[in-house]
Chains A and B, each alone.
Chain A
Amino acid sequence: MVAALRRGAGACGAALGIRHQMMYPLPVLPLIVVRARIALAAALLAAACGSPATGGPEAGFKAPDFSLPGTDSRTHTLRDYAGSQVLAVVFTGNSCPASQLYEARLRKIYDDYRNKGVAVVAINPNPPGAIRFADLAHSDVGETLDDMKTRGSDRHLEYPYLSDGGSQALARQFKVTTVPHIFVFDQSRTLQYDGRIDDSLQADAVKTRDARNAIDALLAGRSVPEARTPAAGCPVKGLAAPIRPEEGREPLSAGPVTVEMADAAALTKLRRNGTGKLLLVNFWATWCAPCAAEFPELEATYQMYKARGLEFTTVSVNDPEERGAVLDFLKAHRASHRNLQFATSDVYGLQAAFDPNLPSPVPFTLLIDPNGDVLYQELGELTVTKLRRAILASLPEDPGHPGLRAYWSTTD
């Protein structure tokens, strides 16, 4: 069973639910719990692979009451939407690439139906504390309410976007294991449709707009053509794993930390970016407080995207005599990627060797594509979400989710 799950997870590239499952010391758990967890893991896997979701609410399921914080800083309850003839509850999240690809379609549903008595409420079931760096390979932010606010404001989302990540109580009542997953309720708030928004991740390949068909039927007083479809996307995080306390950030990998002394030739070469990959370069110094303040964010950024091919090289402009302090700093930040330090005291000469247009003060951060073109630059302390959006717009297209580069290119 375990082997099968592993194979399956590998094939679908969605091993997350399974990995959390594996973290449990199985023998110490009561058998029934083990069974339930394996079933859940299987369900997560099935969902991630796009096959029909198992479980889900019973027929006749009534919309449960809720009281959840929204990105508008207000608390939302079921009663807030009592005036709407139809209520569509969409479980979705920040980090899931399928959620991102469906965002525009969700917004269109909200826009098209807002004056027709249809309320759309988006709910994020992901607990922020269960999110690992690897879960954020397609996202600029995590899943906290603040992260949701950032996403909402960056993408100009107008529909309510609520967080259920605190307890996941609502997600459990809906038995939702995948995002995005839409639930459409009639006037009596009885469930009439649940499943996918439509039948293709690619907006231009959609043939059946299941959620719209259901809403249209309810508005017309007809019965819904299809009551249930499979929802495909990402597993809801944290269901199969213990929820971590939110403050505990995932420890960075404990790889070896080294620093190479870089002469003019090494810096000229760095600027040309011979890595064949997207290259993030950060110029910094131990005495530079903004550099130290942004460093953990850069480190996290690298952890998030390295599996997708991001390279990261730091360049300390410290004097060679300050090498000990440089190494201490890098070790304290577990900077186990390529680190350079100016090999001589000739700061200006070495900076010019990298690029005659390089601004001299630190920090300075830039993103270089495999051709050596500069895709992003920031002088002074950076806004990390801006950098991450530039990275997401420039990383190679994820074959499983074509359209993400375009999604990230259209922010702002």
Chain B
Amino acid sequence: MNDSARRSTATRRGIALAALITGVILLPIAAAPAAAQAQPAGRGIQANSDHPVLPIGSPLPDFSLPGVDGKTHKASEYAGSKVLAIVFESNHCPVSQLYEGRIEKLYADYRSKGVTLVAINPNNAKAVRLDELGYTDVTDSLPEMKLRARLRGIDWPYLYDGDNQEVSSKFGAVATPHIFVFDDQRKLRYQGRIDDNQREDMAKSQDARNAIDALLAGRPVPVAETKAFGCTTKWLSKGSGVEQEWARIQNEPVTVDMVNAGDLKTLRANPTDKVTVAYFWSTGCAACTGQLFDLETTYRMYRKRAFNLVTISTNPPADAAAVMALLKKEYASSPNQQFATADRAGLQAAWGESWNLNAPLTMVIAPGGKVLYRKEGKIDVLEMRRIVLANMPDTGYVGSQAYWVRALQDAKSRR
């Protein structure tokens, strides 16, 4: 480094130091602007200029969006509420899922106190790739939001903004979840996280509740702005790679292994560490082939986790070409098998189940062989996915498995 470079570095450090000191002095008065000054202009981390977060004090952006209740909801219909909380949440994001219970409590605890909570999904299913659906049964379309709402008993308004993301853009929603709290004049008084830890039992600071409580009590909000951790909003403008993903899937090799009784017994015992879906089908069975697509989609969603799908054609070996043709038509890049002999009954017995070979059989098998799901004929693929989700270990995101276990229990108790 030469002398002038050294000097300029020193000057920059001096400015940074001065800014830092100023920032520290200003901190108690205005935390957010001080933090911004701590970085030399243009050289620190910049705020998102494409979708800036709504500044504190801004009026409520107008909206008119379809909800999971089949109705259109407008900003004006909540005029009677003392406080309006808008929370951005989504179906696919595991962080958003972990906050779902807290959103529910927030809604329930404050609804009788003049607080309305409205959830908005900023994502568009067309911009969410299959490989982003590793922790969910459904993606982020409005019909699938309805399915999620029914499953989880979501009774707060859950609106869809994915079509053009206009409302989400006005708010500058950075993530799901991200909450915005407006006062009775519908001025923004708080935005950021719901609380300070994604794990509910570790949360210490109830930032959204603190803001709402302050507004209800006519006090100033203690902390007006915090960060919001979670999954980045899937902005349509950013490009999603959905088409590229589909092109890649179409190029994946499709192979079939011929299997004998021993292979089937091993598969049935599932010595792997993966929750495995075994799908028995044959080319002559229309109901069978119709389900292949949903199962392959499931494979594309979960394959990066402890999951496997094995399709087993019960066709005799002579049908190998037809089996391959059908699998290729579905781009079935999952492990595929076919009965190695024409002794279909014998191989069926080796698997240890009896079913009509002209109908599909779907089984979900836990590592070690425990049967988690068994269905002859048409399956409800979402039900099957939820069972898989509730049984896959969540070593990569602790809490996700419990969410799905509870979802299954709640759904059962509501039935």
Contacts and interface: CB of A to CB of B under 8 A. Distances in A.
Nearest to A358: B45
A286 B393 CA distance: 13
Given A319-B199, A361-B229, A355 B398 contact: no
Contacts of A348: 193, 196-197, 226-227, 229
B400 A357 contact: no
A374 B43 contact: yes
Interface string B142-160: 0000000000000000000
Interface in B156-213: 174-175, 193, 196-199, 202
B369 interface: no
Contacts of A293: 129, 131, 241
B304 interface: yes
A289 B196 contact: no
Interface string B296-333: 00000000100000000000000000000000000000
B241 A381 contact: yes
A356 B38 contact: yes
A362 B13 CA distance: 29
B414 interface: no
Interface of B is mostly: loop
A347 B229 contact: yes
Given A322-B397, A360-B229, A381-B238, A289 B45 contact: no
Contacts of B356: none
Interface string B31-44: 00001101110011
B235 interface: yes
A279 to B, nearest CB: 14
Interface in B16-69: 16, 35-36, 38-40, 43-48
A373 B94 contact: no
Given A345-B199, A345-B202, A377 B232 contact: no
Contacts of B234: 380
A371 interface: yes
Interface residues of A, number: 42
A412 to B, nearest CB: 16
Interface in A220-268: none
B73 to A, nearest CB: 26
A287 interface: yes
A371 B230 contact: no
B35 A356 contact: yes
Contact of A361 (B40, B135, B232): B232
A198 B134 CA distance: 56
A361 B230 contact: yes
B254 interface: no
A355 B44 CA distance: 9
A357 B47 contact: yes
A366 B132 CA distance: 23
Interface of A is mostly: loop
Given A292-B304, A293-B241, A322-B396, A357 B235 contact: no
A359 interface: yes
A377 B395 contact: no
Interface in A365-387: 366, 371-374, 377, 379-381, 383
A346 interface: yes
A324 interface: yes
Nearest to A359: B174
A211 B184 CA distance: 74
Contacts of B132: 289-290
A124 interface: no
Given A348-B226, A355-B44, A289 B131 contact: yes
Contact of B12 (A319, A347, A371): A371
B372 interface: no
A346 B227 CA distance: 13
Contacts of A287: 94-95, 134-135, 396-397, 400
B45 A347 contact: no
B346 to A, nearest CB: 39
B239 to A, nearest CB: 8
Contacts of A325: 395-396
A288 interface: yes
A374 B232 contact: no
A347 B230 CA distance: 11
Contacts of A360: 174-175, 193, 227-230
B27 to A, nearest CB: 10
Contacts of A165: none
Interface of A: 285-290, 292-293, 317-319, 321-322, 324-326, 329, 345-348, 351-352, 355-363, 366, 371-374, 377, 379-381, 383
21 contacts: A287-B396, A289-B129, A289-B133, A289-B134, A325-B395, A345-B197, A348-B229, A351-B229, A355-B39, A355-B44, A357-B39, A357-B45, A359-B45, A360-B228, A361-B175, A371-B12, A372-B16, A373-B40, A374-B46, A380-B238, A381-B232
Interface of B: 9, 12-13, 16, 35-36, 38-40, 43-48, 94-95, 129, 131-135, 174-175, 193, 196-199, 202, 226-235, 238-239, 241, 304, 395-398, 400
Shortest Cβ-Cβ A-B pairs, 10 listed: A286-B396, A287-B397, A360-B227, A289-B132, A361-B175, A325-B396, A373-B43, A380-B232, A357-B45, A360-B229
